[in-house]
Amino acid sequence: MHELSIALSIINLATKEAEKSNAARVSELELEIGEMAGVNIEALEFSMSIAMQNTILEGAKVRIVEIRSLAVCRDCKTRFSPVSMFDPCPRCYSHEIEFLRGRELRLKSLLIE
């Protein structure tokens, strides 16, 4: 379950950013996670709820925005939304695809007090 290590990294980053602004606590954080990022959202939410205890993020609302995948075929330039990392181009069936979005994992915003 790598979601716990992801949660700990997010908490570490959020804490550092909050401390830069002399915040006493973080009341909300927003994450953007691509559907191809390989993150189990439910496991991450659970890990975040446990790992935030006894930190300045304790009790903070965690909003997760899932980013739909978008890829382009390098051979025929067709844009499509793959369902898995290994989907071929629906037009020419090439596996030479480039992800334009959907692999993100970012801390988008913090609400601090």
Specify the higher pLDDT residue, 1 or 58.
Answer: 58
pLDDT given for residue 1 in this prediction: 59
Helix (H, G, I), strand (E, B) or coil at 62: strand
pLDDT of 3-16, one tens digit each?
999 999 999 999 99
pLDDT given for residue 9 in this prediction: 97
Q: Provide the annotated binding site for Zn(2+).
A: 73, 76, 89, 92
pLDDT of 19-72, one tens digit each?
999 999 999 999 999 999 999 999 999 999 999 999 999 999 999 999 999 999
The CATH number for 29's domain is 3.30.2320.80
Q: What is the pTM of this model?
A: 0.87
pLDDT given for residue 54 in this prediction: 97
Q: Provide the annotated binding site.
A: 2, 73, 76, 89, 92
Domains contained in the chain, number: 1
Please state, in angstroms and rounded to a whole number, the distance separating the CA atoms of residues 19 and 35. Answer: 30
Question: In whole angstroms, how large is the CA radius of gyration of the chain?
Answer: 17
Q: Provide the annotated binding site for Ni(2+).
A: 2
Task: Please give the residue range of the domain that contains residue 67.
Answer: 3-112
Q: What is the DSSP annotation of 3-31?
A: HHHHHHHHHHHHHHHHHHTT-S-EEEEEE
Return the number of other C-beta atoms located less than 10 Å from residue 38's C-beta. 13
Task: Kindly state the average pLDDT of the residues 84-96.
Answer: 97
